[in-house]
Structure 1
Amino acid sequence: MAHRHGALVGCVQVARVGDDLAYLGMLTVEPTLQASGLGRRLLDAAESEAVARFAARRMEMTVIHRRAELIAWYERRGYRHTGETRPFPVAPPRPELDFVVLEKGL
């Protein structure tokens, strides 16, 4: 989590998925602080935490396939498409919200 003047301004989730795989989720930055470098610092901290806590060698994440600008942001930071997609977890299924899976070696 990131705080500024006592207020929460960013957060990220890291979870163990397998022996060498961690999952990155819920990376969020206060909209007025986007493009300030905070997201990148949170991402770097999450990757470091995955290595230190889980001995992860890879990090995966899911992004709604329609979020091209967000996918591009992660690609600039070393994440690549795995070719896998996952459904958005709602019933009935909503194909317009499918996730693409991105992965990065740590």
Structure 2
Amino acid sequence: MDPIRLHPATEADHAAVIALTNRAYRQAEGQTDWKVESLVGGQRIDASLLAEDLAQPGAVLLIARDATGDHVGHVRLDAGDEGAWYLSMLTVSPDRQDAGLGRAILEAAETYAAARGARRMRMSVLHPREALIAWYGRRGYAKTGETKPFPYGDPRFGEPTREGFYFEVLEKPLQASR
């Protein structure tokens, strides 16, 4: 696979980002079970939540396009204190999965952040999603022992199927950019 290039999203990309994110995270059709957040129903993101997220200092939404210019995935990064960046909303078009594209977007996001001073990357994964946590583990991410609460009561994040969810915080050290 050719290296993935990530491009900053424009406001014109937001509707496609929302649609692709909700499809990839919440619609099981055509996807392997571990790739879908089936423990939470409803939407994953909407326009108000995306706008709120991107209004945060240091937030950037990056789009991955294929050779023809089609939007095949995206990722959100947030520059943090002391070189700790936060990665979220890593999304791959379901019709393009199982070809290494998720790994390529993840690596490109890490490179992007490292080139801007990141020394480590952090993320949160819904705790029962052990297969996804293992996938990130094979890419150098480890559980930190830190957890974050699930935003129960805020339908912008979807509708959880049960009580007791929380997020595992994962972290990976990054190589300094050359």
Normalised by the size of structure 2, how large is the TM-score?
0.55
Match 1:59 to one of 110, 121, 124: 121
Deviation for aligned residue 1:59? 0.5
Deviation for aligned residue 1:35? 1.4
Aligned pair count?
105
User: Using the alignment, how far apart are the partners of 2:73 and 2:109 within structure 1?
Assistant: 12
Instruction: Determine the structure 2 residue equivalent to 1:88.
Output: 150
1:97 aligns with 2:165: yes
User: Using the alignment, how far apart are the partners of 2:103 and 2:133 within structure 1?
Assistant: 14
Q: After the TM superposition, which of the residue ranges 61-70 and 94-103 deviates more from structure 2? A: 94-103
**Which is greater in Rg?**
2
Deviation for aligned residue 1:95? 4.5
User: Using the alignment, how far apart are the partners of 2:140 and 2:69 within structure 1?
Assistant: 32
Q: Which has the higher strand share?
A: 1
RMSD: 1.8
Unaligned ranges ≥5, structure 1:
none
Amino acid aligned to 2:64: A
Contact (CA 8 Å) 1:88, 1:95: kept in 2 or not?
Answer: no
Instruction: Determine the structure 2 residue equivalent to 1:22.
Output: 85
Amino acid aligned to 2:125: V
Deviation for aligned residue 1:20? 1.1
Normalised by the size of structure 1, how large is the TM-score?
0.89
